[in-house]
Structure 1
Amino acid sequence: MSEEQFSILLVDDDEVDRMTVKRALNKAGLAVNLAEAEDGQNAIAKLKLKEHNLFEVLGTNIPTQTSKKNIRKFDIILLDYRLPDIDGLELIAEIKAINLDLPIIVLTGQGDEEIAVKIMKAGAVDYLSKAKIEPKNLAKAITSAIRVHRAEKAVQLANQRLRASNELLILKNQELERQQQQIKLQNIQLQESYNLKSEFLATMSHELRTPMNAIMGFSQLLLRQYKDPLSQQQQNLVERILNNSKNLLDMINEMLDFSKIEAGKLELKPQKFDLNYLIKLTVEELRSLALQKQLDLITDVKLQDPYLIQDSNFIKRTIINLLSNAIKFTESGTISIKAEVIEENQIIISVTDTGIGIAPEDCDKIFQAFRQADQSFTRQHSGTGLGLAITQSLVTMMGGKITLNSELGKGATFTVEIPRKYDV
């Protein structure tokens, strides 16, 4: 038999029947701590003696002097339903009333099986006839009842833990939903701020263009020297005003274009045009900037079929941005622009310079708005940091992509790949 020791409360008013049960337990080799009660009142008193189902061990094979080791919970109750002061149904009800969840085996006399079944319906787990109590059967009934009860308790505990986990999960889900609502609200607020910023940039850029054009116009008018010629010093000052005004107007235009792109108000207008002609025209517009720095500006266009159906303004702005950047960051050497067909419907335009180049860790940064490879206040080259961000947006809108190949100190090559025909 199992070496586990069970604590049993035997409730029976017949001393002979109690002795019979104790002998059967001894013969079965079942290790037990046995407490006895002669009636229902005594049984309830023993159960209440320790509210946590603790009792002072009494019975066969147990030392008369009790100790902490001899005190433990009851595992099972063996109950004779015919007691002098209470019947089995009432006793089971009282046991449940004091919140004791213990398995109960009913011991019946001859012909009491029908009543015993009623008691089992009231909460007992098994019944045995006193006339048929045998060590083997009694031990089997006790161990089975205890194991089934423990299994049920384990299931109940698992269910309680599951319910607790579910409740915790529900609370966490509620907290996540609350956080999601907060995030949605913050996103709405951020979007509103983003829209306000874009509107502000667009408004300010537009408002600044008017006085800037006036400054440039008056500067050009002074440089014509109709009646009163300017001195060389005055002419130099006016030229500086004009050049700085042009630079500032370029930055304002970049801000305006960027705000339109952010607001989704920049529309793409595909049309058929000659790319060869567009590239040559754009290069000639910027050639004077290259000549000022004594840079060679080379054009290499290899398009047998030069006609595209794209937004010519987008492509021109892309070429201007790439060439202007190349001129700005190149102090000596050559700048070249090349156009060729790589597939039947794919065109590439590349701009290569012999300038300062870009470090590998900065290659991704330069396409971000307001970012430049040199972010310090003492940087040599001015600008808004929007040119390449705008260029990438324009290329993307045309269904293309832009890539960079560069090495610090050895120049850079920007390559734009676009479809020959814009796919509406």
Structure 2
Amino acid sequence: MEEIIRILVVEDDEVDRMAVGRALKKAGIPVEMSAAIDCTSAIATLKQQNFDCVLLDYRLPDGDGLTLVQEIRNAGIKIPLVVLTGQGDEQIAVDLMKSGASDYLPKSKVSPQTLSRSLSNAVRIYRAEREAALATQRLRESEERYRLVLEGSNDGIWDWDLDTKEIYCNDRIYEMIGLPATGANLTYPLFLKRLHPSDRPRIRRAVVAHLQESAKLEVEFRLLHTSGEYRYCIARGKAQRGTQGQPFRVSGVISDITQRKRAEESLRFLAEASTLLSASLDYQTTLENLAKLAVPRLADWCAIDVVELDLSYRRLAAAHINPEQEELIWELQRRYPAQGNENYGYSKVLRTGNSDASFEVSEDLLTSMAIDHLHLSLLRKLKIKSYICVPLRVGSETLGSILFVSSESGRRYTKTDLELAEDLARRAALATENARLYREAQEAEARLEVQNKMLAQRNLQLLEAARLKSQFLATMSHELRTPMNSILGFSQMLLRQRHNPLKPQQIDMIERILNNGKHLLALINDILDLSKIDAGRMELKLEDLNLAKLVIATTNELRSLADEKNLALHVQADLHNPNAINDGVRLRQILVNLLSNAIKFTEIGSVHVEMRETSPEQLELTVKDTGIGIAPDNLEHIFEEFRQVDQTLAKKYSGTGLGLAITKSLVQLMQGSITVESQLNQGSTFRIQLPRQVEASVSNLNPKLNHRTQLGASTLDSSSLPQALKDSKTPKLLY
């Protein structure tokens, strides 16, 4: 189906409009006609609707065809205009064509053929021009997008003519080299000269392989900038070939990857530096190796200075890319050591703790740094172009500084280089601090080892003294008990004899001798028991016994003491199973110690004794009184040997102060435990947990002796010293 052509006919004569329609119909052109009768309506219609062509009469009610053509073109309406006129004036035709008419056709020559030909040509030309304009617009847009892409990518474009050897480059490539874009003429040989010497052979091989073997052309290289610095670049290209496959030009792009390469190199450098810094705890060797690592990776020469204990500065390490120049670094420091008030370099860094850098060292700056002509001469010999000096800081303390200098390479440091140097300095400072702490720890460990040996020796002496004390007490107890038994025996005989009755005064004196003798014998027995416990010679004689009978009988033995003080003494031993295996004598001794203390320290009230079963295999003995009680601060010391919690009580209440210590040791020997609950003036409660059956295999173990044995065999650390001294059995008064 043919495309319908939409036509606007501008004609005020309806007959002429109909004639045009008949002619187009006879010509076989599928059209869709619209009509306008004057210029005004024609302009309005064209602004509102789209048409493929306009047929207009030269004579119109409100103007002529020339005016209408001009108005249409001035309005920016682009559409084919065919003018029909009854006049054959050539000048009119010329004016119409100049004003923008597509064709001019006298009405006398209008026929289906001429009208069809004029209309078709006008529409065809218009459509061709429109498509060309659209293509041009798309081309412009494409070129603009391409330009924006290139500018955004920051890449350089190159086009190499293999015949002339000339290389076309855009401005970006000249920026990479540091040359002005105007007047520059880059050739392949000149490009090769700009390459780093070690990269040239590889680039030549890559280009030849691409031209001869169609290998992929993608290479990295270093390109010399006019500043003397090498820039890292990557080039990609593709050859254009003739019909025979021979290359005649190569086009491509160059990307500046300096930042990426330096970032990668920085990461590798920091990784190597971290490995080096952690490889040794000798900080001087570590920093010397660090200076060597920094050259030439980060600097042409490097110097490391540290702060001494007297706050003076000392150069610890130096390295130079040229070993012959390294002596200059040391000479500079020897001749002109930092005074601490300089406003540049490591002196400023060590004084302030902040980094100092000059990315471009001018002659004026060198002159301002120099103290005299010799100093300036040495600085010039070192060819300082750029420098960075960073502190070795740990917390708020500055341990030293690292100076990085660019000289022969011509490198100009940047803020990125400063950040890298500061990162490296932080790692070096931590390594230095760790090495210092390690050295101090070794020294402290050596001192501690000496102290340990002294403490171990002292501990052995204390153990030997304790052993001798126990041996002495055991011997003396036996020696004292023999004459004491005689004194007690003769006293009892005197009181019981009936042949020569004694006077009351004599009886009183003998009873005093007997009572004091019994008291002294009890003290001797306590001391003997304590010495046995300390020496580990206390043994339990296990037997089957009735606990209920033992508790009741022992309590009744002491009832007279309670009666003397008008105290109520209660005993309860309702056991489901009263049988047990234990040492009856020592169990009675425990109860006597607790019960006698309860009666002694209770003036008003009562004392309660209870034996009960907490489980089929566990028993609990409780002695509770309403006496004076114990202060909370003294509870933890109540079971210590020779400890009396309140010295004022020693004057009021008699006692050796050994009863509770012996009681606790006996309870532990029976595989039990003892606890106390008490408040001042509200009485005390002692609870003993015991197994129903004491095992014979462990009945003779002495936890206190085991502790002392382990103490003597082990090495003390500094934190265990106070406890070790505490464990020495220095005599104290005990409650």
Place the TM-score, normalised by the shorter chain, in its bin.
Answer: 0.5 to 0.7
Q: Is 1:357 equivalent to 2:629 in the alignment?
A: yes
**Alpha-carbon distance change, 332 to 242 in structure 1, aligned in 2, over 3 angstroms:** farther
Work out whether residues 279 and 316 of structure 1, in 8 Å CA contact, stay in contact via their aligned partners in 2. Answer: yes
SS in 2 for 1:367: coil
Q: Is 1:339 equivalent to 2:616 in the alignment?
A: no
State how 1:255-404 maps to structure 2 within 5 Å. Answer: 255-376=527-648, 379-404=651-676
SS in 1 for 2:411: helix
Cα displacement (A) at 1:372: 2.4
Question: In the alignment, which residue of structure 1 is the partner of 2:521?
Answer: 249
Q: Is 1:62 equivalent to 2:364 in the alignment?
A: yes
Question: In the alignment, which residue of structure 1 is the partner of 2:334?
Answer: 51
Question: In the alignment, which residue of structure 1 is the partner of 2:469?
Answer: 197
Question: In the alignment, which residue of structure 1 is the partner of 2:510?
Answer: 238
Superposed CA RMSD: 4.4
**Alpha-carbon distance change, 397 to 68 in structure 1, aligned in 2, over 3 angstroms:** same
SS in 1 for 2:675: strand
Q: TM-score scaled by structure 1?
A: 0.67
Q: Is 1:186 equivalent to 2:458 in the alignment?
A: yes
SS in 2 for 1:402: strand
Match for 1:290: what amino acid? A
SS in 2 for 1:272: strand
Cα displacement (A) at 1:104: 8.1
**Alpha-carbon distance change, 74 to 207 in structure 1, aligned in 2, over 3 angstroms:** farther
Aligned equivalent of 2:493, options 190, 202, 221: 221
State how 1:4-43 maps to structure 2 within 5 Å. Answer: 24=227
Q: How many Å separate the matches in 2 of 1:402 and 1:42?
A: 82
Deviates more, 1:291-300 or 1:387-396: 291-300
User: CA offsets per residue over residues 340-376 of structure 1, 9 Å max, x none?
Assistant: 1122211111122233222333223221111223324
Cα displacement (A) at 1:389: 0.8
State how 1:89-108 maps to structure 2 within 5 Å. Answer: none
Work out whether residues 347 and 417 of structure 1, in 8 Å CA contact, stay in contact via their aligned partners in 2. Answer: yes
Match for 1:359: what amino acid? A
**Alpha-carbon distance change, 413 to 397 in structure 1, aligned in 2, over 3 angstroms:** same
**Alpha-carbon distance change, 157 to 283 in structure 1, aligned in 2, over 3 angstroms:** closer
Q: How many Å separate the matches in 2 of 1:46 and 1:181?
A: 49
Cα displacement (A) at 1:267: 1.3
Q: How many Å separate the matches in 1 of 2:332 and 2:637?
A: 78
Cα displacement (A) at 1:381: 0.6
SS in 2 for 1:392: helix
Q: How many Å separate the matches in 1 of 2:444 and 2:533?
A: 40
Q: How many Å separate the matches in 2 of 1:386 and 1:252?
A: 11
Q: Is 1:175 equivalent to 2:447 in the alignment?
A: yes
**Alpha-carbon distance change, 216 to 293 in structure 1, aligned in 2, over 3 angstroms:** farther
Match for 2:334: what amino acid? E
Q: How many Å separate the matches in 2 of 1:75 and 1:271?
A: 102
**Alpha-carbon distance change, 312 to 75 in structure 1, aligned in 2, over 3 angstroms:** farther
Work out whether residues 347 and 418 of structure 1, in 8 Å CA contact, stay in contact via their aligned partners in 2. Answer: yes
**Alpha-carbon distance change, 157 to 366 in structure 1, aligned in 2, over 3 angstroms:** closer
Q: How many Å separate the matches in 1 of 2:497 and 2:646?
A: 41
Match for 2:444: what amino acid? K
SS in 2 for 1:174: helix
Q: How many Å separate the matches in 1 of 2:682 and 2:601?
A: 11
Q: How many Å separate the matches in 2 of 1:254 and 1:308?
A: 26
Match for 1:347: what amino acid? L
Question: In the alignment, which residue of structure 2 is the partner of 1:89?
Answer: none
Match for 1:200: what amino acid? F
Q: How many Å separate the matches in 1 of 2:369 and 2:484?
A: 101
**Alpha-carbon distance change, 78 to 422 in structure 1, aligned in 2, over 3 angstroms:** same
Q: How many Å separate the matches in 1 of 2:605 and 2:422?
A: 89
Question: In the alignment, which residue of structure 1 is the partner of 2:689?
Answer: 417
**Alpha-carbon distance change, 348 to 50 in structure 1, aligned in 2, over 3 angstroms:** closer
**Alpha-carbon distance change, 149 to 374 in structure 1, aligned in 2, over 3 angstroms:** closer
Q: TM-score scaled by structure 2?
A: 0.41
Q: Give the length in aligned residue pairs.
A: 341
**Alpha-carbon distance change, 158 to 297 in structure 1, aligned in 2, over 3 angstroms:** closer
Question: In the alignment, which residue of structure 1 is the partner of 2:93?
Answer: none
Work out whether residues 345 and 421 of structure 1, in 8 Å CA contact, stay in contact via their aligned partners in 2. Answer: yes
Q: How many Å separate the matches in 1 of 2:645 and 2:568?
A: 25
**Alpha-carbon distance change, 231 to 146 in structure 1, aligned in 2, over 3 angstroms:** closer
**Alpha-carbon distance change, 164 to 240 in structure 1, aligned in 2, over 3 angstroms:** same
**Alpha-carbon distance change, 206 to 330 in structure 1, aligned in 2, over 3 angstroms:** same
Work out whether residues 337 and 350 of structure 1, in 8 Å CA contact, stay in contact via their aligned partners in 2. Answer: yes
SS in 2 for 1:383: coil
Q: Is 1:208 equivalent to 2:480 in the alignment?
A: yes
User: CA offsets per residue over residues 6-30 of structure 1, 9 Å max, x none?
Assistant: xxxxxxxxxxxxxxxxx948xxxxx
User: CA offsets per residue over residues 95-117 of structure 1, 9 Å max, x none?
Assistant: xxxxxx987866xxxxxxxxxxx
Work out whether residues 644 and 650 of structure 2, in 8 Å CA contact, stay in contact via their aligned partners in 1. Answer: no
Q: How many Å separate the matches in 2 of 1:199 and 1:384?
A: 20
**Alpha-carbon distance change, 141 to 346 in structure 1, aligned in 2, over 3 angstroms:** closer
SS in 2 for 1:413: strand
SS in 2 for 1:214: helix
**Alpha-carbon distance change, 311 to 64 in structure 1, aligned in 2, over 3 angstroms:** closer
Q: How many Å separate the matches in 2 of 1:312 and 1:207?
A: 27
Q: How many Å separate the matches in 2 of 1:334 and 1:42?
A: 99
Cα displacement (A) at 1:392: 1.0
Q: How many Å separate the matches in 1 of 2:682 and 2:632?
A: 12
Q: How many Å separate the matches in 2 of 1:378 and 1:276?
A: 34
SS in 1 for 2:651: coil
